[in-house]
Amino acid sequence: MTDPSAPPLTRIQQKNRDLILQGALDAFSANGLRGATIDQIARAAGLSKPNVLYYFDSKDDIHKTLLTTLLDMWLAPMQRINPQGDPLTEVLRYVQAKLRMSRDYPRESRLFAYEILQGAPHLTAILGGGLRDIVDRTVEVLERWMSEGRLARVEPRHLIFSIWSMTQHYADFEIQVRAVLGPGHDPFAEAGAFLEDLYRKLLTP
Amino acid sequence: MTDPSAPPLTRIQQKNRDLILQGALDAFSANGLRGATIDQIARAAGLSKPNVLYYFDSKDDIHKTLLTTLLDMWLAPMQRINPQGDPLTEVLRYVQAKLRMSRDYPRESRLFAYEILQGAPHLTAILGGGLRDIVDRTVEVLERWMSEGRLARVEPRHLIFSIWSMTQHYADFEIQVRAVLGPGHDPFAEAGAFLEDLYRKLLTP
DNA sequence: CGGATTATTGACCAAACGGTCAGGATCAGG
DNA sequence: CCTGATCCTGACCGTTTGGTCAATAATCCG
């Protein structure tokens, strides 16, 4: 992804590009691509607007960089599923890892939610390419486990969708979740127990 | 919701307000509140921009009206759960009804998704009020069924979240779903079978 | 028909926004 | 300490956008 022929970043470049991406994460995850302004990003980063545009060509450039930078981290838990491990344990661990990501990185979750909602103008290539490959590899593992009778038979791809949707729901729709639950609840802890139960019942052969 | 002291709408008012709300649904569900422009709405409605603002005070007014108008329809399936019916049948019917709504009304689903993502600036009152009441009533029914041993014990509110998230996922993230599945799939039909299986296994006592 | 109400629009405005640029400040290396 | 490269900013520009308004057209109703 990073151009190897490009000159290495100076200390200041490193720091400021990082500040900008952090500010942009705040802005984009709160307001979406069109809703966030460069001024907002600059303020969040503690820089001036022209200075932000000194480090990035445009708002779109920041957005694209942010998405591609975070995508690997976002997809990592699925790649940590161990094909040699115990099927149920591996899936349950993936579910809990994904839920923890929603709890600890809600901004990232919302960033991707906005992007997909919008029709993924910056991610279409990846959706049909890299992402699909990663999913296909996981699906193969799941199907093997199912045909070995070590996991109940369900449509693997929709199993994955269910994990994505339920875990990310607690980040993307956190306001709704909290409004419905009322005070005195720990949404993520409760969700952890609920999902553990759900997937155990669904996937135990 | 509708002010009864207000004069009744003329035929033309009726028709044009409707056209505008239809156009606004297109625009808002595709681009979000800030992403959609009044011009866009006007074009989609086949009216001029000033004419749109003759019928509504502002873009926010259109958005607010649209949300409150559609909320009842969006929440209706949950209120159709029959406390006297067979527990599993009632829940499964609700799940399928919600999935059909995602298939048939994806724009509405995305409209609400954007609004909640954004922090629900126009719906906060309803989230903690009317919505919570409706959920509470359903939760009571579910809890009764569970204590009667006619439904497996799970946290009822998180059960509801799971239904919302999984069914709406197929509308809100349709692009991702289609990209991952590839061609030759009917996402909603497959999802229907998957969810039927999932909730049967989860909720059978 | 005729007058009053309602509907519609082109022209316009101010603010917000994405982005540019010339010039000055700062910093790294010799 | 000098010099060139990097870094930073105030002022500015063109466009888009939400919204207004005066004037015109269509409709309604007695």
Could you tell me if A15 and A64 lie in one domain?
no
Could you tell me if B120 and B150 lie in one domain?
yes
Which of A56, A85, A100 is the endpoint of a domain? A56
Could you tell me if A91 and A51 lie in one domain?
no
Average pLDDT for residues B177-199, to the nearest whole number?
A: 97
Task: Find which of B158, B159, B197 to mutate to test the A interface (most A CBs within 10 Å of its CB).
Answer: B158
Could you tell me if B116 and B154 lie in one domain?
yes
CATH number at residue B68: 1.10.357.10
Could you tell me if A141 and A126 lie in one domain?
yes
Distance CA A62, CA A42 (A): 12
**Which residues span the domain enclosing B127?**
59-203
Tell me which residue of A177, A195, A179 sits closest to A187, measured CA to CA. Answer: A177
Supply the DSSP symbol for A205. -
CB contact under 8 A, B161 and A157: no
Residue nearest D8, CA–C1′ metric? A51
| 3 state SS for chain B | CCCCCCCCCCHHHHHHHHHHHHHHHHHHHHHHHHHCCHHHHHHHHCCCHHHHHHHCCCHHHHHHHHHHHHHHHHHHHHHCCCCCCCHHHHHHHHHHHHHHHHHHCHHHHHHHHHHHHCCCCCCHHHHHHHHHHHHHHHHHHHHHHHHCCCCCCCCHHHHHHHHHHHHHHHHHCHHHHHHHHCCCCCHHHHHHHHHHHHHHHHHCC
Could you tell me if B167 and B88 lie in one domain?
yes
Asked if A158 has any chain B CB less than 8 Å from its own CB, the reply is yes
CB contact under 8 A, A175 and B119: yes
The lowest-confidence range among A16-20, A125-129, B116-120 is A125-129
Asked if A200 has any chain B CB less than 8 Å from its own CB, the reply is no
Which of B56, B84, B102 is the endpoint of a domain? B56
Asked if B161 has any chain A CB less than 8 Å from its own CB, the reply is yes
**pLDDT above 80 (res A108):** yes
Q: Is B152 left (phi over 0), alpha (psi -120 to 50) or beta?
A: beta
pLDDT tens digits, residue range B78-129? 999 999 999 999 999 999 999 999 999 999 999 999 999 999 999 988 888 8
Could you tell me if A101 and A11 lie in one domain?
no
Tally of domains in chain B: 2
* ipTM for this prediction: 0.93
The structure tokens 């990082």 sit at A18
Could you tell me if B41 and B114 lie in one domain?
no
**Mean pLDDT estimate for chain A:** 95
Could you tell me if A155 and A182 lie in one domain?
yes
* Alpha-carbon radius of gyration of chain B: 19
Asked if A165 and B166 count as a contact pair (C-beta separation under 8 A), the reply is yes
SS3 state at A82: coil
The CA–C1' separation of B29 and C5, in angstroms, is 36
Residue nearest C8, CA–C1′ metric? B51
Distance CA A197, CA A190 (A): 11
Could you tell me if B151 and B69 lie in one domain?
yes
Q: Which nucleotide is nearest to B39 (CA to C1')?
A: D17
The lowest-confidence range among A18-22, A69-73, A124-128, B158-162 is A124-128
The residue in chain B having the minimum alpha-carbon distance to the alpha carbon of residue A28 is: B118
pLDDT tens digits, residue range A44-89? 999 999 999 999 999 999 999 999 999 999 999 999 999 999 999 9
Could you tell me if B52 and B73 lie in one domain?
no
CATH number at residue B42: 1.10.10.60
Q: Which residues of A touch B154 (CB under 8 A)?
A: 194, 197-198
Which of A11, A33, A56 is the endpoint of a domain? A56
The CA–C1' separation of B7 and D30, in angstroms, is 21
Could you tell me if B50 and B111 lie in one domain?
no
Look at B8 and B68; give whichever has higher pLDDT: B68
Residue B11 is predicted with a pLDDT of 82
**pLDDT above 60 (res A5):** no
Distance CA B25, CA B115 (A): 12
